[in-house]
């Protein structure tokens, strides 16, 4: 997930919002500064000097208020959002008897749609794996992070769910905690494992042009999964949109946690395209590959961390979160809107510096230090400097 080239000069990213001109976007008349300024930190402390010059400095450092949900979840979405993942959230002591079992927890969303989570005590990344079934084939998103006995258990689960359907194993990107089960799956009958890299993805999914084109996977019976290149976290990052459920799988490019970026300009362009696709299509849920946030707004667990047993964010994000990500990574572009030009409900700008400072106090008690340049929302954060 977070295997990055340290030498990348992320500090030089042209769109990093170290200073935003005060505008209707980030300093609305009659509204307090809250959530209208990208958070910029130095040495873990708010740098108030980066507030837009005509905006007033916040007078409080209270944690941000809980924002209400702006849309309703359908029954399936609630099933995903409310599932507690109690068996795989880790423990304070992962060496105690039984801590690493079960290796995976399986949620059946419906008879053709399954979500697996790897146990945090087998690997702190605890990646999610998605399996979707059609009459002519099955698609599996990622193959886990590996570990003792993990791949063997994964194969048993896959056999039980997929049966004798042809299986395509694809990946949100090719970092190690997403592909560790590939070697075992390659030996499985009637299974095709897509290799690493943009060229492999382009060929496998019929992507018309990387990274601006699209491809697809056809599972039969009208179940089509659109494939969108979204490089930025990794050079071969892709998103998958399941037309049948309406769910978008965004891998490590958006999830409730640390959205690490290796190529900022690519990331910004990818987020614009991802929002444009979302605005045109009936995206129901946005589902990533990890959970790293607590259940408190804006508060993140230390990284790495193997014990989420006391508190964890829901897996489910929504279309507004894609809008937020596009807004954060393209701060000098127009605010994303729906296709008819209307505002996107809940597409709030990032927390202010004062709010992030208050959150930092909560997190430092858990042993986490904020990164310089973090851009933080209620449900995810972008630590630009990593």
What integer pLDDT is reported at residue 370 of this predicted model?
60
Q: Max alpha carbon distance in the chain (Å)?
A: 64
Q: How far is CA 289 from CA 30, 126, 321, 375, in A?
A: 39, 8, 15, 20
Element (H, E) at 155: helix 150-162
Q: Whole-angstrom distance between the N-terminal and C-terminal Cα of the chain?
A: 13
Q: Are strands 224-229 and 113-118 parallel, antiparallel or unpaired?
A: unpaired
- The stretches in the chain having pLDDT less than 50 are 2-61, 66-69, 385-386
What integer pLDDT is reported at residue 325 of this predicted model?
96
Please answer whether residues 216 and 226 qualify as being in contact, where contact means their C-beta atoms are separated by less than 8 angstroms: yes
CB-based burial label for 353 (10 Å; 0-12, 13-18, 19+): buried
CB-based burial label for 66 (10 Å; 0-12, 13-18, 19+): exposed
Q: How far apart are CA 34 and CA 23, in angstroms?
A: 14
Q: How many residues does the chain have?
A: 386
Q: Please tell me the pTM assigned to this model.
A: 0.83
Domain ranges of the chain: 94-318
Which pair of tokens denotes residue 143?
């193959």
What integer pLDDT is reported at residue 37 of this predicted model?
28
Q: Which residues contact 309 (CB under 8 A, 6 or more apart)?
A: 89, 90, 91, 92
- Chain segment 99-119, per-residue pLDDT in tens: 999 999 999 999 999 999 999
- Chain segment 228-279, per-residue pLDDT in tens: 999 999 999 999 999 999 999 999 999 999 999 999 999 999 999 999 999 9
Q: How far apart are CA 246 and CA 113, in angstroms?
A: 12
Which pair of tokens denotes residue 201?
């993805």
Q: How far apart are CA 178 and CA 144, in angstroms?
A: 5
What integer pLDDT is reported at residue 362 of this predicted model?
75
Backbone phi, then psi, for 251, in 5-degree steps?
A: 60, -130
- Chain segment 42-62, per-residue pLDDT in tens: 333 333 233 333 333 333 445
What integer pLDDT is reported at residue 368 of this predicted model?
63
Q: How many CB atoms lie within 10 A of CB 259?
A: 26
Please answer whether residues 270 and 211 qualify as being in contact, where contact means their C-beta atoms are separated by less than 8 angstroms: yes
Q: What is the CATH number of domain 94-318?
A: 3.60.15.10
Q: How far is CA 90 from CA 95, 121, 145, 280, 300, in A?
A: 11, 5, 15, 38, 16
Backbone phi, then psi, for 150, in 5-degree steps?
A: -70, -50
Which pair of tokens denotes residue 284?
């129901």
CB-based burial label for 113 (10 Å; 0-12, 13-18, 19+): buried
Q: How far is CA 318 from CA 129, 300, 379, in A?
A: 18, 19, 10
């Amino acid at each position: 997930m977070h295997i990055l080239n340290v030498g990348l000069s992320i500090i030089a990213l042209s769109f990093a919002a170290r200073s935003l001109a005060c505008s209707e976007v980030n300093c609305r008349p009659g509204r307090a500064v809250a959530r209208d300024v990208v958070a910029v930190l130095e040495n873990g402390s708010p740098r108030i000097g980066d507030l837009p010059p005509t905006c007033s400095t916040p007078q409080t450092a209270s944690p941000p208020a809980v924002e209400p949900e702006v849309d309703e979840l359908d029954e399936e979405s609630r099933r995903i959002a409310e599932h507690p993942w109690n068996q795989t959230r880790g423990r304070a002591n992962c060496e105690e008897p039984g801590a690493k079992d079960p290796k995976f927890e399986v949620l059946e969303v419906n008879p053709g749609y399954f979500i697996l989570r790897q146990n945090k005590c087998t690997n702190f990344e605890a990646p999610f794996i998605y399996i979707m079934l059609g009459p002519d084939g099955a698609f599996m998103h990622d193959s886990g992070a590996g570990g003792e006995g993990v791949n063997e258990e994964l194969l048993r689960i896959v056999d039980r769910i997929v049966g004798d359907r042809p299986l395509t194993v694809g990946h949100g990107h090719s970092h190690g905690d997403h592909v560790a089960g590939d070697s075992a799956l390659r030996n499985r009958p009637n299974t095709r494992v897509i290799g690493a890299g943009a060229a492999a993805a382009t060929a496998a999914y019929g992507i018309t042009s990387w990274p601006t084109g699209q491809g697809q996977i056809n599972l039969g019976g009208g179940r089509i999964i659109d494939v969108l290149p979204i490089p930025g976290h990794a050079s071969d990052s892709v998103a998958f949109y399941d037309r049948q459920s309406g769910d978008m799988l965004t891998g490590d490019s958006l999830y409730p946690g640390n959205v690490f970026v290796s190529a900022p300009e690519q990331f910004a362009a990818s987020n614009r395209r991802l929002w444009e696709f979302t605005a045109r299509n009936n995206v129901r849920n946005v589902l990533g590959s990890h959970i790293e946030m607590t259940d408190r707004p804006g508060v993140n667990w230390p990284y790495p961390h193997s014990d989420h047993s006391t508190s964890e964010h829901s897996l489910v994000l929504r279309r507004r979160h894609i809008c937020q990500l596009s807004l954060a990574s393209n701060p000098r572009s127009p605010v994303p809107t729906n296709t008819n030009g209307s505002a996107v409900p809940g597409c709030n700008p990032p927390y202010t510096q004062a709010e992030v400072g208050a959150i930092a106090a909560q997190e430092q008690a858990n042993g986490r230090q904020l990164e310089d340049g973090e851009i933080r929302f209620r449900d995810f954060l972008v630590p630009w400097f990593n």
